[in-house]
Structure 1
Amino acid sequence: MAQGLAARIYTIIPENNRLERIWLLAKTDFKIQYSSSALGVIWAFVYPLMRILIYYVVFSFVFAKDIPNYGFYIFSGIMIWMYFQEATKGGLKVIRSKRYLLENIRFNKLDVYYSSILTNLIGFLVNISVFLAMMIITGLPITWKLIYYPIFIINLMMLCLGISLILSTINVYLKDISQLWELVLLLMFWINPIFFAKQKIFNMFPALLYANPLAGIIINSRDVIMYGKDPDWFLVGYNYVLAGSILAIGVWSFNKFFHKAIEKI
């Protein structure tokens, strides 16, 4: 069913309207994720709702920590982490999984990557909506500082796009890169302030705050959405420079090796 849906959509991809093309590809991939289930895209709302309820109950009452609203604290970091993980793991496979599109349809090949990033953004926005709804229900304040949140979403998308371009090119030549990336993700999960306060690790290893491209995004996004604080603008600037540098390397590697990579598959 999923393959049939993809095949039908791919035959009507517009070649001239770029934004429509990217959106159509992203929407198709999002639908395919849930096409084999009876409830379809409703699961996109059920999963984050159940996840945040579990975190709220377990970590607010059963395993309560010194961190106030610990369940929300965790989920605010998990949202960022899940987007990063899913976007990069999906982007890693683009050249192999979207080979038909890349070879046979005339358009900017980067659009396939843009659509992959956008597909995961749809799920991310669902998570944020559920998160904010739960904050309102439980009486946590939402301040005007929330308007800063898109800054971190854009930063995260740039980072994921750059890493996806690099990994997907390497994946053609080194098939084990997906397993290696899983190990990197495992390490990154535990050196990011998702379950613990940032001071616990960054006071001991301050360099990790700048070596880790996700840490600043998680810290700043949590500060504005949960605590109504201004972001650390120096850290914002640093993270944008870092993500921009990774994206530039990704675009360069894609342009240089794409045609050779397609021939090698």
Structure 2
Amino acid sequence: MALVFTRTLWNYRGFIIGNVKREFQSKYRNSLLGAAWNVLNPLAMIIVYTVIFSQVMKAKLPGVDDAFAYSIYLCSGVLTWGFFSEIVSRGQNVFLEQANLIKKVSFPRVCLPITVVLNALLNFGIVFGLFTVFLLVTNEFPGLAFISLLPVLIVLIIFSIGLGITLGILNVFFRDVGHFFGIVLQFWFWLTPIVYSVSILPTSLQKYIHLNPLFGVITSFQTILVKHEQPDWQSLLPALTVGVLLCLIGMRLFRKYSGEMVDEL
């Protein structure tokens, strides 16, 4: 199945790349700042959280005295979360948004979620590239540990696309899924150690935070970029396991209901 899936994507690579290019260009058409909005939106969010938590609430990372530590910790979490939420949010609506294309053109529908991932990767690459420049300028670059970000990112993509495809299919038949998950994302953000360290929470709550599949992914990014260390690879197993299961469930639902989806769109 994996071989057929890979061959299909390769045969339709032109269609996928064309979609990515078209979406990126249309997103910033008639915009004076263009792709700069990719940077300004997360930057504004980071500045607000940094000012509120580090200046107003005097938040600091336990055991870390580095002046840039909290800002890097915050950027690591916010940018990683932004990448995840973009894939899932776009994934749950991709079949609805592309309803006209699905009805008029014959192509493997699985190309659409892949387009979502590539667009999110492009946006993430632009912002994270500038963040990397910041790390270099401030002498906070993690060195060889930086390479460890790649497997962590792959785990995040697997989890995100698995959840996005599953929600996307369900959202075609039950439109409340999209609205409900928007609320879930808001709670999920604050249940993930992005603007705070899990160590400041009561011990009784910490064990529940660890059940969050994104806990290991977010903390791995933060460990690499803040502490310049290899992450705890075992902490990625929940996200990887759940992600693979969601991918299998999503593809099964897709094969079973792909015909009915066209009628529902």
Please give the TM-score of this superposition, normalised by the length of structure 1.
0.85
| Structure 1: tracts of 5 or more residues without a match | 1-14
Kindly state the Cα deviation for residue 221 of structure 1 after the two structures are TM-superposed: 1.4
The secondary structure found in structure 2 opposite 1:205 is helix
Q: What does residue range 189-208 of structure 1 map to in structure 2 within 5 Å?
A: 189-201=189-201, 203-208=203-208
Q: Which residue of 1 aligns with 2:110?
A: 110
**Does the 8 A contact of 2:171 with 2:177 survive in 1?**
yes
In structure 2, what is the Cα distance between the partners aligned to 1:35 and 1:263? 32
2:176 maps to which residue?
A: 176
Aligned counterparts of 1:75 and 1:99: Cα–Cα separation in 2: 36
Equivalent residue for 1:6?
Answer: none
The answer to whether the aligner puts 1:33 opposite 2:24 as a matched pair is no
1:141 and 1:116 map into 2 onto residues whose CA distance is 29
User: Does the aligned pair in 2 maintain the 1:55–1:75 contact within 8 Å?
Assistant: no
How far apart are the structure 2 equivalents of 1:186 and 1:16?
36
| TM-fit CA distance, 1:51 | 4.8
Unaligned runs of 5+ in 2: 1-8
Matching of residues 88-107 of structure 1 within 5 Å: 88-107=88-107
1:113-172 deviation per Cα after TM superposition (whole angstroms, max 9, x unaligned)? 100111111111122112111222223242211101011211111112111111111112
Matches for 1:26-105 after TM superposition, within 5 Å:
26-49=20-43, 51-52=45-46, 59-67=53-61, 68=64, 69-105=69-105
Residue in structure 1 matched with residue 6 of structure 2 by the alignment: none
Return the alpha-carbon distance in structure 2 between the equivalents of residues 16 and 142 of structure 1.
35
- What residue is the counterpart of 2:240 in the other structure? 240
Look up the equivalent residue of 1:106 and give its one-letter code: S
Contact persistence 1:57–1:71 (CA under 8 A): no
Query: Could you tell me whether the CA contact under 8 Å between 1:167 and 1:177 is conserved in 2?
Result: yes
Q: Secondary structure at the match of 1:192?
A: coil
TM-aligned CA deviation for residue 45 of structure 1: 3.5
User: Does the 8 A contact of 1:202 with 1:209 survive in 2?
Assistant: no
What CA RMSD, in Å, does the superposition of the two structures yield over aligned residues? 2.3
Deviation per residue, 1:28-82 (Å, 9 max, x gap): 2122222131222233234445555565566555543221421221111011111
Aligned 8 A contact 2:158 2:243 in 1: yes
Q: 1:57 to 1:196 in 2, by over 3 A?
A: closer
Measure, in 1, the Cα distance between the counterparts of 2:264 and 2:60.
Answer: 54
Q: Relative contact order, CA 8 A, sep 6+: which one is greater?
A: 2
Separation in structure 2 between the aligned mates of residue 20 and residue 211 of structure 1, nearest angstrom:
40
Instruction: Report the CA distance between 1:200 and its aligned residue.
Output: 3.4
- Structure 2 partner of 1:262: 262
- Residues 72 and 225, structure 2, Cα contact 8 Å, conserved in 1: no
Give the aligned residue type for 1:211: L
Deviating more after overlay: 17-26 vs 184-193: 17-26
1:230 and 1:128 map into 2 onto residues whose CA distance is: 19
Q: Which residue of 2 aligns with 1:147?
A: 147
The range that moved more, 40-49 or 54-63, is 54-63
Length-normalised TM-score, structure 2: 0.85
Identity across matched positions, percent: 24
Q: Contact between 2:20 and 2:119, CA under 8 Å: does it hold in 1?
A: yes
Deviation (angstroms), 1:93 = 1.0
Whole-angstrom CA distance in 1 between matches of 2:202 and 2:108: 41
Amino acid at match of 1:183: I
